Amino acid sequence: MNHLKTGLLMAGMVAGVATMATSAVQAKTLIVGMACDRTGPTQSVGVVLCPAYHDYVKLINSKGGVMGNKVKVIEIDTQYKVPASVEAYQRFKKEGAVVVALWGTPMTQAITPNLNADHIPGTSPGFGTAAAANGEKYPYLFPMAASYWSQAGAAVTFAKQELGGDMKGKKIAFIFYDNPAGREPLPVLDKLAKMEGFELKKFAIPPPGVEMKVQVQDIVRRYRADFVISHLFGKGPAVHIKEFKRMGFPLKKVLSFVWGAGESDINGAGGWAKAQGYNALNFAGVGSDYAILDEIKAMYKAQGKDGPKQMVNSVYYNRGILAAAVHLKAMEMAIKAKGSGDITGEDVQKGFLAIKDFRLDGILPPLDFTELDHEGGGWARVFRVEGDGFVPAGDWLRGYRDVVIEMLKAE
Amino acid sequence: MFHRESGYFKTSYQADMALYPLPIAKYTIWAFLAIFFVACPMLLDEYHLSIINLVAIAVVGVLGLNILVGYTGQISIGHAAFMSVGAYTAANLATKLDLPFWLTVPLGGLMAAFIGILVGIPSLRIKGLYLAIATLAAQFIIEWIINHTPSISGGVAASIEMPRPVFFGMELANQAELYYFLMFIMVIAIIGALNLVRSRIGRSFIAVRDQEIAAEIIGINVFKTKLIAFAVSSFYAGVCGVMYTYYLGIANYENFQLITSIDYLAMVIIGGLGSILGSIFGAAFITMLPIVIRLWMEAFGSIFVDDAALAQVIAQFRLIIFGGLIIVFLVVEPDGLAKLWQNIRNYFRTWPFSY
């Protein structure tokens, strides 16, 4: 009995010394807060995007973490609700998060004042207000992907290409969901219409944004648009593909903003065969043909599992990769600058600004953050439905950057 | 709670109607004030205070809805729209005219009350579910108007950045400072509601709810009473909206959509229709239950699966547990948490000599 006691005591002491020894050299655990929507109105995106984020972090952790520091993600499902998001943010702050991933435009707006006060950088790829890309006004908010303004610029650039390089007198229809996010690109489009001399007509789709037969008929039959730019959410994109198809309008002349670009939208419209030619803007690469995704698959395989099933929805999956990759890159930059893993939100904010030409083997555009431009350049790429998937229609582009920057400064 | 009533005799109507009929109730109030105004801000960290802040905001909104639905019996599913009226009124006043919070809070409430009266007019002719649909229309109309009027909504993004409330030169910015601000308004709202429902007006609310024709026969102006109920309810909603706006630092109509109205209706029903205490219980329950479930699942779930898988499990199971618990509580006591509390109290009143 006594032997057992001493034995246990010894074992305990050895274990204690061992943990002390490891903790002395052990690097810090870096905390990331992620607000997510897996059960709310935008769950179709959340259930793909959030696991992708976790996958990327797992991959980096399996390789030893960010410069030797492990990353821990605290995810909170906010159901696209503001009070829940506020609570989630306070939780992240309490846990010592050095960067937070926000979700949803109203929530981003509600949390932005806190970010600046608490010096914790937050990211809002593809949502939030376009004016928030102005880093001089919102130093701690990083949209880190093309805002609706930049998307409008990219859309007009693409339309110009498709229309043979000259837009004078051409008729462009803009069909959009009638809420603040939907109306956001209007000032840019109005400006570009004057600059390029095309005629712009706006077709608003009232909430809930799924009934648009009349508007589509109007665009195709009465207005006879030369090109259509669409900006819809939720089930809206699938419906508008169907309606344009039914009217016999060539989908090659339809370009959707980033929230009408998912595989789920194509499935909702009746499958790939029904959506041939449909174009959509993206701020991360589409498809599974990237080195980083192969690495994730290999990691799963090494554990004896199949690859993540969310990867089928490559559009949202890759956006999750984008968010994770940029966050971890910013941390890496912060650690490099500081020389240790003991970083704060302020360091990570500077880390974001230190990111230059970050491509991650082509899945990302050449992101490049500056004091003013927290969008990372406002890059977008058009992907087109051809055969059984999306194929790129041209390279990464940013249209009318000067116009967007000018508006950013004016805000 | 665990006090005896024996030995206290009421000799006047006033004593019978008093808010605290027993001396111990008075001490309880002081104890609560000490806990919430002294102990809580000292002992709790910012995270926990932020949860109480959200509850405090919700309490004001639920009180308002309970006055309308619980006390007067008029169903409304446009409550969130009145909040947005208050929020945008206060935001415009605070940004354009630089008014301080002690003016914007009541003015936001008054504007909401005015709109509430307009929306309440159909309640003379239509009742029950039909009225619910009429208020639903109000929800969409108000939302649309805010969304499409830049002079109200402050531009294309329909959101106005709100300055922090300033109290004698001190900007209330962090959670602890905002805690006092929100708690103060909440306490006033509770006291106001407590006194309202035991006044002549409050009794006429109940009379209208219980039997409209009988109420009319005993000389209550039903239409006027209903409009007052709508006005008071909307006033509370408006104040709730203003609190939200100050708390978040932004007025945005997307915080006040139909789903929010439904949430508040759920708080009223779970807390207890026609009960002030129930409003507080309902607001606290619906706001905090998902958080408690999540914290609990995080603590135990990490034993079984890794973080990434756990996130998905928590998100889904939380909904199931949340819905299940609501059903359980309503089956145990259909009159809500307030009645449940009363049952417990009544049990202990005679304990251990109950028969």
Q: How far apart are CA B79 and CA B279, in angstroms?
A: 15
Interface check A105 vs B, CB under 8 A? yes
Give me the residue from A83, A112, A180 closest to B158, CB to CB: A180
Question: Is the CB of B248 less than 8 angstroms away from the CB of A82?
Answer: yes
**By the 8 A CB rule, do A151 and A180 touch?**
no
Q: How far apart are CA B152 and CA B149, in angstroms?
A: 6
Interface check A113 vs B, CB under 8 A? yes
Q: What is the mean pLDDT of each run of 10 residues along chain A (411 residues)?
A: 50 46 60 92 89 93 91 91 91 93 90 90 88 88 91 94 90 92 90 93 88 92 94 91 93 93 91 93 91 92 88 91 93 91 91 89 88 89 92 89 88 72
Q: Omega of the bond prior to A366 within 30 degrees of 0, cis?
A: no
Q: Which two tokens stand for residue A341?
A: 């893993």
Specify the pTM.
0.88
User: In terms of Cα–Cα distance, which of B59, B76, B111, B58 is closest to B229?
Assistant: B76
What dihedral angle (degrees, nearest 10) is formed by the CA atoms of A229, A234, A240, A243?
180
pLDDT higher than threshold 50 for residue B95: yes
pLDDT for position A3? 56
**B248, B288, B297, B317: best mutation site toward chain A, by most A Cβ within 10 Å?**
B248
pLDDT band per the 50, 70, 90 thresholds, residue B2: low
Question: Is the CB of B311 less than 8 angstroms away from the CB of A54?
Answer: yes
pLDDT for position B318? 86
User: In terms of Cα–Cα distance, which of A393, A398, A395 is closest to A379?
Assistant: A398
pLDDT for position A266? 93
Ramachandran bin of A347, using left for φ above 0, alpha for ψ from -120 to 50, beta for the remaining angles:
alpha
Give me the residue from A36, A87, A110 closest to B291, CB to CB: A87
Q: Which two tokens stand for residue B342?
A: 């009363």
Q: Which two tokens stand for residue B184?
A: 């103060």
Which domains does chain A show, CATH number per domain?
27-146+287-379 (3.40.50.2300), 148-282+383-410 (3.40.50.2300)
Instruction: Determine whether A119 is exposed, middle or buried from the number of CB atoms within 10 Å of its CB (0-12, 13-18, 19+).
Output: middle
What helix, strand, coil percent values describe chain A, rounded to 5?
50, 15, 35
Q: How far apart are CA A177 and CA A204, in angstroms?
A: 6
pLDDT band per the 50, 70, 90 thresholds, residue B85: very high
Question: Is the CB of B175 less than 8 angstroms away from the CB of A105?
Answer: no
Q: Which residue of A has its CA nearest to B156?
A: A180
C-alpha torsion sign, points A154, A156, A158, A160: negative
Instruction: Determine whether B145 is exposed, middle or buried from the number of CB atoms within 10 Å of its CB (0-12, 13-18, 19+).
Output: middle
Distance from CA of A118 to the nearest CA of B (A): 9
- SS3 sequence of chain B: CCCCCCCCCCCCHHHHHCCCCCHHHHHHHHHHHHHHHHHHHHHCCHHHHHHHHHHHHHHHHHHHHHHHHHHCCCCCCCHHHHHHHHHHHHHHHHHHCCCCHHHHHHHHHHHHHHHHHHHHHHHHCCCHHHHHHHHHHHHHHHHHHHHHCHHHHCCCCCEEECCCCEECCEECCCHHHHHHHHHHHHHHHHHHHHHHHCCHHHHHHHHHHHCHHHHHHCCCCHHHHHHHHHHHHHHHHHHHHHHHHHHHCEEEHHHHCHHHHHHHHHHHHHHCCCCHHHHHHHHHHHHHHHHHHHHHHHHHHCCCCCHHHHHHHHHHHHHHHHHHHHHHHHHHCCCHHHHHHHHHHHHHHHCCCCC
Q: Which residue of B has its CA nearest to A181?
A: B157
For tokens 């004057």, name the residue: A194
Phi, psi of A248 (to 5 degrees): 75, 20
pLDDT higher than threshold 90 for residue B159: no
Q: Which residues of A touch B259 (CB under 8 A)?
A: 81
Interface check A86 vs B, CB under 8 A? yes
Least confident of B204-213, B263-272, B322-331: B322-331
Q: Which residue of A has its CA nearest to B253?
A: A106
3-state class of A74 per DSSP?
strand
Q: Omega of the bond prior to A51 within 30 degrees of 0, cis?
A: no
In this prediction, residues B264-286 reach a mean pLDDT of: 93
Question: Is the CB of B255 less than 8 angstroms away from the CB of A73?
Answer: no
Whole-number Cα distances in Å, B214 to A102, A139, B209, B210, B218: 55, 63, 10, 9, 6
**B46, B48, B49, B50: best mutation site toward chain A, by most A Cβ within 10 Å?**
B50
pLDDT band per the 50, 70, 90 thresholds, residue B4: low
Q: Note the Cα A408 to chain centre separation in Å.
A: 20
Distance from CA of A91 to the nearest CA of B (A): 6
**By the 8 A CB rule, do B271 and B62 touch?**
yes
Give me the residue from B50, B159, B259 closest to A86, CB to CB: B50
Q: How far apart are CA A238 and CA A275, in angstroms?
A: 9
Q: Which residues of A touch B250 (CB under 8 A)?
A: 109-110, 112-113
Q: Which two tokens stand for residue A334?
A: 């912060």
Q: What percent of chain B has a predicted confidence (pLDDT) above 90?
A: 53
Distance from CA of A376 to the nearest CA of B (A): 22
User: In terms of Cα–Cα distance, which of A265, A277, A175 is closest to A219?
Assistant: A175
Question: Is the CB of A87 less than 8 angstroms away from the CB of B54?
Answer: yes
For the packed helices A82-95 and B222-248, what is the interaxial angle rounded to 10 degrees?
A: 30
3-state class of A181 per DSSP?
helix
| Strand pairing category for A389-392 and A381-386 | antiparallel
**By the 8 A CB rule, do B271 and B280 touch?**
yes
pLDDT tens figures, A326-341? 999 999 999 999 888 8
Q: How far apart are CA A334 and CA A340, in angstroms?
A: 9
pLDDT higher than threshold 80 for residue B8: no
Interface check A77 vs B, CB under 8 A? yes
3-state class of A389 per DSSP?
strand
pLDDT tens figures, A61-96? 999 999 989 999 999 999 888 889 999 999 999 999
3-state class of A166 per DSSP?
coil
Question: Is the CB of B255 less than 8 angstroms away from the CB of A50?
Answer: no
**By the 8 A CB rule, do B90 and B241 touch?**
yes
